[in-house]
């Protein structure tokens, strides 16, 4: 069940606390360890021209905003992956019974930002990879953590990084991120595209997503745009 709607009273209370929330995140983030770099990446001979990556990890509003603010990323689309075309509808996916996960399709230039850098940001800022079938206030299979790999190279690099992080006990719990072959990506309605750019004061965004952008800017200033 999603908790993206708020009462008017809740909206006012959350809006009034935005400065405090961001300040707390910045102070806490300054003392948190940054994840190690992935030990492997996609070879330069394989990654030529613009590439795509599909990640899922909770509400696609926040996930898309994180990757939209990266240098080298030219496009981010919110949508669904993991299920069939017939069930790629927001209301149906929200039931948690379609096999779909709310996902983002990222188009990037590997000469400016690499796949391993995207993975590092995915695991450190975009979501919590230790939460099973949920993310923050949202619960259900549609909010699970998944990397939908487009080829063997993406699968290899992502699997190696997960193993690397688990072996180093980077998180207090094991990573539950799934690795699944990309069989289809289905764009969500325009309402869900670039949602945070158009609704920066939306209460759900203030509480759950703006802190991610603050962390992104803090931890990856050279990549932030």
Q: What is the pTM of this model?
A: 0.87
Residue 72 above 70 pLDDT? yes
Q: Are the beta carbons of 212 and 125 closer than 8 angstroms? A: yes
Report the catalytic residues: 59
Per the model's pLDDT, the better-predicted residue between 28 and 80 turns out to be 80
Distance between CA atoms of 25 and 73, rounded to whole angstroms? 25
Per-residue CA distances from 54 to 95, 101, 158, 189 (Å): 21, 11, 12, 17
**3-state secondary structure (DSSP) of residue 215:** helix
pLDDT-derived band at 167 (thresholds 50, 70, 90) equals very high
**Residues 14-60: tens digit of each pLDDT:** 444 444 444 434 433 433 457 999 988 887 656 678 999 999 999 99
């Amino acid at each position: 069940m999603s908790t993206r709607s708020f009462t008017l009273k809740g909206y006012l209370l959350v809006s009034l606390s935005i400065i405090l929330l961001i300040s707390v995140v910045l102070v806490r983030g300054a003392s948190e360890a940054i994840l190690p770099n992935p030990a492997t990446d996609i070879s330069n001979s394989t990654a030529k021209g613009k590439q795509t990556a599909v990640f899922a990890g909770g509400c696609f509003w926040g996930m898309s905003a994180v990757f939209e603010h990266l240098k080298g990323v030219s496009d981010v689309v919110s949508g669904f992956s993991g299920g069939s075309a017939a069930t790629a509808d927001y209301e149906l996916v929200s039931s948690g019974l379609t096999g779909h996960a709310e996902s983002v399709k990222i188009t990037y230039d590997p000469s400016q930002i690499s796949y391993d850098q995207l993975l590092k940001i995915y695991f450190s800022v975009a979501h919590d990879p230790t939460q099973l079938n949920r993310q923050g206030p949202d619960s259900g299979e549609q909010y699970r953590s998944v990397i939908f790999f487009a080829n063997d190279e993406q699968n290899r690099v992502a699997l190696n990084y997960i193993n690397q992080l688990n072996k180093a006990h980077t998180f207090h719990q094991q990573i539950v991120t799934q690795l699944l072959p990309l069989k289809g990506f289905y764009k969500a309605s325009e309402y869900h595209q670039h949602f945070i750019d158009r609704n920066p004061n939306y209460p759900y965004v203030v509480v759950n997503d703006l802190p991610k952008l603050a962390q992104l800017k803090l931890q990856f200033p050279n990549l932030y745009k």
